[in-house]
Amino acid sequence: MQVNGKLTDPFRMQKIVQNLGLNADDKLVIYDDGSFFDVARLFWALEVYGFKDVKLLNAGYKQWSNKNFETSTQTPTVTKSDYVTIIDNNRLATKFSTQIATKNPNQVIIDARPDKAYEGEVSSAKRFGHIPEAINIPASHNIDTDNQGSVLKELSDLKDLYKDLDKNKKIILYCAIGKISATNYFALRELGYNVSNYDASWKEWGNDFRLPVINLQETK
């Protein structure tokens, strides 16, 4: 449900959801191959598009299969729904809203990329560094990974990870294209934070030379 790092446009999304027979008030359980990043991205996308009751299967299909739980090769028959696109702008950050956040003390920006990207050592964009005022909490810090797949850390561990964040402040997340930062998004939603994810993320910001960046490599 993304194109070139950005969410699928509303009209295409409406068609996809309708053809899947889904409605925004359905209770959904979603999963991926066990990486967690893909399913977290889908969770965020579904919340942006108005779905209110979405659950994730920890460790995904890999653990399910390894435990020999029942599986199927059948494709369910569905009836096309009458879903109409609903966009929850409170869950969707943009270049504009992120610019505002850099100057708003009541908002916090979190860079979910690895620390080498945050510090400006590597970059997926033409420029290196991070968005001004952003703090670095890599997406990988939210999950535990073994040969069974990746699972969200215990809530007590997540509370400790985000202990310095004020729940009264709005959180904006970003990464390279808004994918792995969805893992932070899911964790913060589980903890009850008001959070949004920046669609297109560093790929957009880092390639827009009109926008400021902080490169820690240049300040050393």
Residues 49, 127 within the same domain: no
Tokens of 109: 């920006």
pLDDT of residue 140: 96
CA dihedral 144, 145, 151, 153 (to 10 degrees): 0
Question: pLDDT tens-digit profile of 121-147?
Answer: 999 999 999 999 999 999 999 999 887
pLDDT of residue 3: 47
Residues 99, 200 within the same domain: yes
pLDDT of residue 5: 60
pLDDT of residue 67: 86
Domain count, the chain: 2
Q: Is 78 domain-assigned?
A: no
pLDDT of residue 126: 97
Can you list the residues of the chain whose pLDDT is less than 50? Answer: 3
Q: Is 76 domain-assigned?
A: no
Residues 175, 108 within the same domain: yes
Specify the long-range contacts of residues 151-158, CB closer than 8 Å, at least 24 apart.
Answer: 151/36, 151/58, 151/59, 152/36, 152/56, 152/58, 152/186, 152/187, 152/190, 153/187, 155/190, 155/191, 158/187, 158/190, 158/191
Residues 34, 103 within the same domain: no
Residues 126, 51 within the same domain: no
pLDDT of residue 147: 79
Residues 197, 111 within the same domain: yes
pLDDT of residue 148: 78
